[in-house]
Structure 1
Amino acid sequence: MLRKSVIMMALAAAFTMNVSAVQIEVPAGQPPMPGADASIPTNAYENYRHINEVAKQNAEDYSEFIKSQPMNPKSGMDKLYRERPGLAKALELANYSQSTVVLIHEGDKNIRLSVPNISFRGDTVESKSGNGPLYAVRSLSSFLVVGPPHGKALNKYAEEEGKYNYPGLQNASWKLMSNNARVMYTEFTPNDSKTTYGITYGGWVNTEDPYQDKSPEVVMSNYIIPSIESLSGLDTYSRVEHWGNFSYRVPKTAKLVSEAVENSQYDVRTYEDTGSKIRVVRTSILGEKRDGTVIKSSILSFLRKYNDLETPTQYAVVWNNGIAGSLIDSYKPKGESYLRHVVKDSVYFYSYRINYDESKTSYTHKQWRDMIEYVDFDDAVKLRKGPQWREDGSYKEKLESGPIFIPWYMEWVKLLNQ
């Protein structure tokens, strides 16, 4: 048992192990960067498993609650929970440990960033600047807005502002507003681009929130800013494949080995490369078919199929040009790892799956994940017109009809778009 625990600790550490730490430099005469913490690893943003103590306790309580309930023989979930001890806790922790990834690759935009927060809803709002849309994402207690510069409205409220230097960025600045909510804005131009971006992250600090218990300036300075990177590097080792309205990336060295129809309903493209197998699966959206891109559906499907409760599996909602999908990342440094990204347009679900052994392939874990995150749709502008909910059922209805959840979020989006 001790040996097993040591192995699992080593696997968990592999997600964030790095010799360097976040180093945000401040030019002479500028105020310190709010929230900056040089003890946090530079690649901490790569770890989707941001689970706080409240989430751990909630998951433990939920597991005990499930065990105490009389079994309902008609319930498939009850049967599953009894057959697989630990599943209830793993599923609850997975719900809490989601992160959000944003990729923008339209026109002159070419950027990726991430934030250690769940995504309950996303909206695309046309920017009044005329330089492209603003992409907004909302969790329970925080929001993220990404797009062209949009921080003018914060000038009235900002209590602090300054400039900073970070590798890969130039002309970087920040503003911080601290009131009932704390809101931080950063503006920058990537070194390999002439395009300037703005990112706003805000919310309030609540140590009892299982989704987020860090202040926005801590998240901005130590997770969001270090995660900012150009997508142009993908071109050096991957290529774009097209499938009707859908496009995705595979390694430049991957070979398409088959195209087939499975079970009379799944169109499947299979690629192979040294140490890896890639399957891109397309199936029609029929009737009231459950939305497989909602992250909870993907999490449950994964845990049901693999019953792997101890490997440090990570989960994220990935937004490509405002279109949401769900990502599962089960990484074993010395074994077969698994990645899955599920997205949809108005006609099809697309399930992109990669099985690989990092010790046999020439690509790193991060390169595989960067490839699978990047997808696109020819009609993205049409697909993202309405709000995209990442919840379904009664919980979505509760949030949608609540007096606070939507108004608070949309008022901020409206203010930032002035």
Structure 2
Amino acid sequence: MLRKSIIMMALATAFTINVSAVQIEVPAGQPPMPGADASILANAYENYRHINAVAEQNADDYSEFIKSQPVNPTSGMDKLYRERPGLAKALELANSSQSTVVLLHEGDKNIRLSMPNISFRGDSVESKSGEGPLFAVRSLSAFLMVGPPHGKALNKYSEGEGKYNYPGLQNASWKLMSNSAHIMYTEFTPNDSKTTYGITYGGWVNTEDPYQDKSPEVVMSNYIIPSIESLSGLDTYSRLEHWGNFSYRVPKTAKLVSEAVENSQYDVRTYEDTGSKIRVVRTSILGEKRDGTVIKSSILSYLKKYNDLETPTQYAVVWNNGIAGSLIDSYKPNGESYLRHVVKDSVYFYSYRINYDESKTSYTHKQWRDMIEYVGFNDAAKLRKEPQWREDGRYKEKLESGPIFIPWYMEWVKLLNQ
């Protein structure tokens, strides 16, 4: 048992190999960067598993609740919980342990960033600057907005502002408003670009939040800013493939080995490369078919079919140009690993799957993940006109009708887009 625990701890830490700490430099005469913590690793943003004590307790409570309920032979979920001890807890922990990834690659936009929060809802609004849309996502107690510079409204409220230096960024600055809610804004231009971006992250400081218990300035300074990177590097080792309205990336060395129809409903493209197999599956959206891009559906499907419930799997909502998909990343260093990204347009579901062995392939875990995250749609502007929910059913209805969840969020979206 001890040996197994040591192995699992080693796997968990493999997501954040010991690299240098976050090093945000402050020019002479500038105030300190709010929330900056030199004890946090520079690649901590890569670790989607940010389970805290509250989440652990919630998962234990839910597991005990499931065990205490009478057996319902007509319930598929009840049967599954009885057959797979530990599934209820693993599902709850996975639900809390989610990240949000944002990729912008329209026009002159070409960046990726992430935040260690769940995404419940996403909205796209046209920027009044005329420089393209602003993309906003919301969790229970925090929100993120990214796009063209949009921080002017914070001039009235900010309690501090300054400049900073970080590798890969130039002309970088910040503003912070901190009262009942903390709102932090950063503006920057990537070194390899002439395009300037703005990012706002804000929310309540809530140590009892199972999704994120760090203050917004800590998240911005130690997770969001270090995660910012150009997408141009993808072109050095991957190529873009097109399938009707859909586009995706595969390694430059990958070969398309088959195109087939499976079970009379799945169009499948299969690629192979040394140490890896890639399947891109397309199926029509028909009738009341369950939305497989909703993150909880993907998590449950994976835990049910593949996972041993202990591998430190990461889950994320990935937003490409405002269109959401769900990502599963089960990484075993130098072993058999699995990635899956599920997205949809108005006609098809797309399931992009990669099985690879890092000890046999020439690509790293991060390169594989960067490739599978990047997808696109020719009609993205049309697809993102309505709010996109990453929840469904009664919980979504509860959030929609709540007096705080949407109004607080949309007021900030409106204010920042001035």
Q: CA RMSD in A?
A: 0.5
Provide Cα deviations, 1:275-331, integer angstroms capped at 9, x if missing partner.
000000000000111100000000000011114211100000000000000000000
CA contact (8 A) 1:84 1:307 kept: no
Provide Cα deviations, 1:54-88, integer angstroms capped at 9, x if missing partner.
00110011011111111100001111111111000
Quote the Cα distance in structure 1 between the aligned partners of 2:141 and 2:38: 26
> What does residue 5 of structure 1 align with?
5
Quote the Cα distance in structure 2 between the aligned partners of 1:212 and 1:314: 15
Quote the Cα distance in structure 2 between the aligned partners of 1:174 and 1:317: 26
Quote the Cα distance in structure 2 between the aligned partners of 1:142 and 1:229: 22
Quote the Cα distance in structure 2 between the aligned partners of 1:61 and 1:97: 17
- 1:180 Cα deviation after fit: 1.2
Flag as ranges the 4+ runs of structure 1 deviating above 3 A: none
- 1:52 Cα deviation after fit: 1.0
- 1:18 Cα deviation after fit: 2.2
Match of 1:332, SS state, is: coil
Match of 1:239, SS state, is: strand
CA contact (8 A) 1:18 1:42 kept: no
Provide Cα deviations, 1:37-64, integer angstroms capped at 9, x if missing partner.
0000000000111111100110011011
Provide Cα deviations, 1:83-135, integer angstroms capped at 9, x if missing partner.
11100000000000010000000000000000000000000000000000000
Q: Percent identity?
A: 92
Provide Cα deviations, 1:249-268, integer angstroms capped at 9, x if missing partner.
00000000000000000000
Quote the Cα distance in structure 1 between the aligned partners of 2:304 and 2:212: 27
> What does residue 147 of structure 1 align with?
147
How many residues of Structure 1 are paired with residues of Structure 2 in the alignment? 418
Quote the Cα distance in structure 2 between the aligned partners of 1:307 and 1:234: 29
Gaps of 5+ in 2: none
Match of 1:340, SS state, is: strand
1:14/1:307 Cα in 2 relative to 1: closer, same or farther (>3 Å)? Answer: closer
Match of 1:14, SS state, is: helix
- 1:229 Cα deviation after fit: 0.2
CA contact (8 A) 1:102 1:319 kept: yes
Quote the Cα distance in structure 1 between the aligned partners of 2:122 and 2:326: 13
CA contact (8 A) 1:318 1:327 kept: yes
CA contact (8 A) 2:144 2:202 kept: yes
TM-score normalised to the size of structure 1? 1.00
> What does residue 187 of structure 2 align with?
187
Quote the Cα distance in structure 2 between the aligned partners of 1:207 and 1:221: 18
Matches within 5 A, 1:315-354: 315-354=315-354
- 1:334 Cα deviation after fit: 2.5
- Identify the range of structure 1 (112-121 vs 299-308) with the bigger mean alpha-carbon deviation: 299-308
> What does residue 79 of structure 1 align with?
79
CA contact (8 A) 1:345 1:383 kept: yes
Provide Cα deviations, 1:185-238, integer angstroms capped at 9, x if missing partner.
000000000000000000011111111111000000000000000000000000
CA contact (8 A) 2:19 2:43 kept: no
Quote the Cα distance in structure 2 between the aligned partners of 1:402 and 1:57: 25
Gaps of 5+ in 1: none
